[in-house]
Amino acid sequence: MNIANAVVLVTGANRGLGRALVVASLEAGAKLVYAGARDTSQLRDLAGQHDKIVPLELDITSAASVAAAAARAQDVTLLVNNAGVLAAYGVLTSTPAELEADFATNFFGTLAMTKAFLPVLERADRAAIVNVLSVVSFASMPALGGYSAAKAASFSATQALRKDLAKRTISVHGVFPGPIDTDMVRQIEMPKTSPAVVAEAIIDGVEAGLEEILPDPTSRQMFDVWKRDPKALERQFASM
Ligand SMILES: NC(=O)c1ccc[n+]([C@@H]2O[C@H](COP(=O)([O-])OP(=O)(O)OC[C@H]3O[C@@H](n4cnc5c(N)ncnc54)[C@H](OP(=O)(O)O)[C@@H]3O)[C@@H](O)[C@H]2O)c1
């Protein structure tokens, strides 16, 4: 799918990777970008820089908010499900509320967005859905066990959608980043890729029609391990 002239919606656009995806979409020639955020006042400086950015109030865990966004943004052709949380760490040490928070956003909220926007996407000649997952969708990183489980579930749903939507001219892309330099992993010391580099790779991947987008060197290296030997990636993550 060409981003030039696409109408893009990015969830979680007020900071981190989402913000970079808004900028990268415009740089690739998007006609309009809806910037979804729970608190749209956090979009003021970004929207002030470009007249093609439309702030959109959106909490993906609220059915009413998702329905209102779908009613308003009727011309979307590229839905980027970027919003995510890292609330649950170890599966045994996390509380039920932390585990539920990860699934509410990373799995149920992401799926709810896709379902709500399907009638809109179906009207376009060509449309695409991008789900921002993680390398921990491939194998659990036990230190982030709850988050890994939610991202693995979302990976599974992404594969299911690809088949379900194949006849409807809607392509479905999964993105599997390694560590990105954003608030989400601010306190974790490790090499990270800048959100701008990751965002650009995601846009390139969508344009190239890639079903699995590996947007940084760490994700590509881990994907290679997983392809060769899934148990090796499981062991590598367990040692972290
Ligand atoms: N950072 C990494 O190392 C890394 C690696 C692999 C994958 N990812 C994935 O990349 C995506 C972007 O993460 P990030 O690194 O940019 O994290 P971030 O800086 O923490 O930003 C998360 C974004 O998601 C939004 N969000 C959270 N819950 C939401 C909800 N219920 N409704 C709407 N928006 C919501 C946040 O909005 P508020 O400001 O309102 O909280 C924020 O804009 C996520 O899906 C994450 O899982 C990140």
DSSP 125-191: SSEEEEEE--GGGTS--GGGHHHHHHHHHHHHHHHHHHHHHGGGTEEEEEE----BSSGGGTTS-S-
37-94: pLDDT as tens digits:
999 999 999 999 999 999 999 999 999 999 999 999 999 999 999 999 999 999 999 9
Distance of CA 145 to the CA centre of its chain: 19
The pLDDT value recorded for residue 9 is 98
pLDDT of residue 167: 76
pLDDT at site 166 = 84
Phi/psi of residue 114, nearest 5 degrees: -60, -45
Q: Cα–Cα distance between 124 and 100 in angstroms, integer?
A: 34
State the pLDDT at residue 222.
97
Q: Which atom of ligand 1 is nearest to the CA of 133?
A: 7
* Spans of the chain below 70 pLDDT: none
Asked about 147 being catalytic, the answer comes back as: yes
pTM higher than 0.95 for the full model? yes
The angle, 0 to 180 degrees and rounded to 10, between the axes of the packed helices 145-165 and 110-122 is 20
Secondary structure (DSSP) of the chain = ---TT-EEEESSTTSHHHHHHHHHHHHTT-SEEEEEESSGGGGHHHHHT-TTEEEEE--TT-HHHHHHHHHH-TT-SEEEE--------STTTS-HHHHHHHHIIIIIIHHHHHHHHHHHHHTSSSEEEEEE--GGGTS--GGGHHHHHHHHHHHHHHHHHHHHHGGGTEEEEEE----BSSGGGTTS-S--B-HHHHHHHHHHHHHTT-SEE--SHHHHHHHHHHHH-HHHHHHHHHT-
> Cβ distance 24 to 204 under 8 Å?
no
Distance CA 202, CA 224 (A): 18
Cβ atoms of 178 and 166 closer than 8 Å: no
Ligand 1 center from residue 239 Cα (angstroms):
25
Q: CB of 29 within 8 A of CB of 3? A: yes
For ligand 1, residues with CB inside 6 Å are 11-12, 14-18, 38-39, 58-61, 82-85, 105, 109, 132, 134, 177, 179-180, 182-185
Catalytic residue among 103, 107, 147, 155: 147
CA angle 237, 239, 240 (to 5 degrees): 70
